[in-house]
Structure 1
Amino acid sequence: MKRFLILFLSITTLSCAQEKTALLGETEWQREMNANFKDASTSPLTEKGLRKFKGLAFFKFDSSYVVKAKLKLTPDAKPFNMKTTTGREPIYRVYAIATFELNGDTHQLNVYQNLGLMQQEEYKDYLFIPFLDDTNGETTYGGGRYVEGSLPEGDILVINFNEAYNPYCAYSDRYSCPIVPRVNYVKTSVEAGVKAYKKP
């Protein structure tokens, strides 16, 4: 999430009351998320949302949602325009197909690279894994969530669904967010990561 923030706009205003929520969270990642959300320079929240922010809702950390995925590289995959919530269409490619076990079944997800971001040194090894699951529209954001990764040295990629987060469009309409491709639907309930956000 920290690395992904550069893709979005920033908002202003921070209340003193929010200072108290900076370290809320069960894990370091959750605490960092809350700190980013309460900081006006990095938060996707609206001004009203910032004033009322007391911390994101997370599922409890569950190690079973940290999976080792076997990658099948797709070097011949053609670049394509990823649809977003606006007219913007950044160019992505499928880097690999990840196969993993979760909740007793085998699942697959496409792992993407943003060809524009790859030109930046900070993002040359960045992997983007948007996904849909059976919690969407109930306990999680209806449009799906995102997970991030980095190029592994071998053919195994660790995917930590405890670090699944919402597109910024879940918090404000001012953002342009990649729409999760239907092919990246995981036929199970991924009860990990950030829960749905209720706009104030």
Structure 2
Amino acid sequence: MNTKNLFWAFVALVIAASLLYTFTGTEDPEYYRSTIEAERERQWKFLKYNIDSPLKEEQKEDLDSLDFYPIDPDYKIRARLEPVADRRILEIPMTDGSVERYIRHSFANFELQGQQVKLLLLQAEDETDLRNFFLAFADKTSGEETYGGGRYINVRQDGQSSLTIDFNLAYNPYCAYNPDYACPIPPRENILEIPIRAGEKNYDK
């Protein structure tokens, strides 16, 4: 094959790969891993250096790293959105006994570990972007491998009636680092009977 034909064969390969990614959602594994690692690094730097970090100064000095499960692409799932029939304001209990108001917006339906899962998506009352949701959940690792009060994921609707939930991005609430903070407790709909070994583990003081 001459140089010209080799060039056009390469171009055709690149186009085919681009189309495959567009129509199947295929993602380069290394790019995915580096994206998750970059977010974890950003999270660590925020806790370590940011003035708004929940950590006390002595905690910041001692914080060399955060503890995460290994990145597992199987925990990045597509979920079908199901609107809540009685969409209303829900008062979510906080760890200090107070309540915080959220809109009881939609359910995310998907399969994980061979089980059908249905999680309640909440939306802040003052949320200006109506495609953004707050997901608070607890699972079989809570209180042992992960924080007992559950973990959070910020999710965004990226389809007409679907969204992506990536448990590799699950993070601890502020109260996991500092009990002076009050954090929303996961609603009963989001207490999972399966272990979610993805995302951030318990904070080691």
Q: TM-score band (shorter)?
A: 0.7 to 0.9
Mapping of residues 19-34 of structure 1, within 5 Å: 27-34=37-44
Alpha carbons 1:98, 1:108 under 8 Å: kept:
yes
Indicate which of 174, 180, 183 corresponds to 1:174: 180
TM-score by length of 2: 0.78
Indicate which of 163, 171, 184 corresponds to 2:190: 184
TM-score by length of 1: 0.80
The count of aligned residue pairs is: 171
Give identity over the alignment, percent. 35
Match of 1:41 in 2: 51
Alpha carbons 1:90, 1:114 under 8 Å: kept:
no
Q: Give the Cα separation in 1 of the matches to 2:69 and 2:110.
A: 21
Q: Does 2:153 correspond to 1:144?
A: no
Q: Rg larger in 1 or in 2? A: 2
Alpha carbons 1:132, 1:182 under 8 Å: kept:
no
Task: Indicate the structure with greater helix content.
Answer: 2
Alpha carbons 2:157, 2:164 under 8 Å: kept:
no
Q: CA RMSD in A?
A: 1.7
Return the offset for 1:152: 3.4
CA distance 1:26–1:71, shift in 2 (3 Å): closer
Q: For structure 2, which runs of at least 5 residues remain unmatched after alignment?
A: 1-34
Structure 1 residue matching 2:99: 3-state secondary structure: coil
Indicate which of 90, 95, 115 corresponds to 2:100: 90
Alpha carbons 1:93, 1:114 under 8 Å: kept:
yes
Q: Give the Cα separation in 2 of the matches to 1:194 and 1:166.
A: 7
Q: For structure 1, which runs of at least 5 residues remain unmatched after alignment?
A: 1-24
Match of 1:7 in 2: none
Q: Deviations over 1:92-146 (max 9, x none)?
A: 122111111111211110000111x31xx4x553200000100111110011101
